[in-house]
A = this chain, B = another copy of it.
């Protein structure tokens, strides 16, 4: 592989001058520049980024940690992230953890071993202690969720309020028996959304039947099964708040298959593209996905440039999107 040293030997200039040409420094004569550029072309030289990173001690790379690549929720987020990152000259690399702590730790090493300058975490299996410790030494930002008691920056919506609003919509439609399909892992943002759900019921003076709260995985099939379980109980609810659109779609699918789609209302969360086109549409809570991504990067870059800045939480607005999956109780 041809290096700066080879170009130096080839052209008779020193490595310093070659480096200056490569980096467009003005301090080099036209003659030298021309000769060296010609040599670069002739040899097919490419600067070695590893050598550069080592010398400069930063990589201009950001790591985005995703639990899965199968959720369209992250598509828009990623666009926002890439927009902000590339505007600042950073490259984004993505790591998918499959929700496994061990894979997550592998990726964290990219941070600790200086392969990336900072990290955005979309979902973590670590606890608040791990997270706080990492955040002390390295720039990280939590995306679309937060962690109680952890000393770490995050960009999120107000999940509690959003879940409250969603549940309130069902209540306002006249429903009095309302169930919830929540996340299997008992952590944010599921915790907060359960909280908002329960608060809304309480404020309306409605009871929560314990068997009406089921925890499941964030995918279509799990949602379908969980809904089946919910509806097979002895006093099934007439409305269901789902912690994610993927679950809501699974639930609606079950209802459609059972001919219950007009009897039972379903509301989801996230406003992913499928919720728009599935059947008559899934009513849902919109998260500002693009902005969540964009703001995360902005915050991360701020932390990178000022390591001593205290952790900060940014809350972005949410809103309800009413579609065909919700209707008046009858």
A interface residues with partner B (beta carbon < 8 Å): 1, 44, 46-54, 59, 68-72, 74-76, 78-79, 82, 86, 91-96, 98, 103, 106-107, 109-110, 112-115, 137, 220, 249-250, 253, 273-274, 276-279
User: Residue of B at shortest CB range from A112?
Assistant: B46
A76 to B274, CA, bound (A): 18
Closest Cβ–Cβ distance, residue A261 to chain B (whole Å) = 12
CB A3 to nearest CB in B, in angstroms, measures 11
Complex formed: what's the CA distance from A43 to B75 in Å? 39
Chain B hits for A69, CB < 8 A? 69, 74-75, 78, 94
Checking B72, B137, B253, B279 against A72 with a beta-carbon cut-off of 8 angstroms, the contacting residue is B72
Which residue of chain B has its CB nearest to the CB of A44? B137
> Chain B's nearest CB lies how many Å from the CB of A281?
10
Q: In the complex, given contacts A48-B54, A94-B94, A279-B279, what are 12 additional A-B residue pairs having Cβ atoms less than 8 angstroms apart?
A: A44-B137, A50-B54, A69-B69, A70-B75, A72-B72, A82-B98, A82-B103, A86-B103, A92-B95, A92-B96, A94-B96, A220-B273
Residues of B within 8 A of A107 (CB): 91
Report B-chain residues with C-beta under 8 Å of the C-beta of A71.
72
Determine how many copies of this chain the complex contains: 2
Question: Nearest Cβ in chain B — how far from A87, in angstroms?
Answer: 13
Closest CB in chain B relative to A61 CB, distance in Å: 8
Query: Nearest CB to that of A113 among chain B residues?
Result: B49
What B residues does A59 contact at CB under 8 A?
Answer: 50
CB closest residue in chain B, given A256: B279
Q: Give the chain B neighbours of A220 by CB distance below 8 A.
A: 273, 276-277
Distance of A103 Cα from B81 Cα, bound (Å) = 14
A277: B residues at CB distance < 8 A: 220, 249-250, 253, 278
B residues less than 8 Å from A49 (CB atoms): 109-110, 113-115
* A82 → chain B closest CB, angstroms: 7
Which chain B residue has the least Cβ–Cβ distance from A223? B277
Q: Contact: A98 with B79, CB < 8 Å?
A: yes
24 contacts between A and B (CB under 8 A): A1-B114, A46-B112, A49-B114, A50-B50, A50-B53, A50-B54, A50-B114, A52-B113, A69-B69, A69-B75, A70-B76, A70-B273, A82-B96, A86-B106, A91-B95, A91-B107, A92-B96, A93-B95, A94-B94, A253-B277, A274-B274, A277-B278, A278-B278, A279-B279
Residues of B within 8 A of A54 (CB): 48, 50-51, 54
Bound together, the chains give a CA A110 to CA B54 distance in angstroms of 15
Whether A70 lies near B70 (C-beta < 8 A) is: no
Question: CA–CA, A250 to B82, complex, Å?
Answer: 27
The residue of chain B having its C-beta at the shortest distance from the C-beta of A48 within the complex is B114
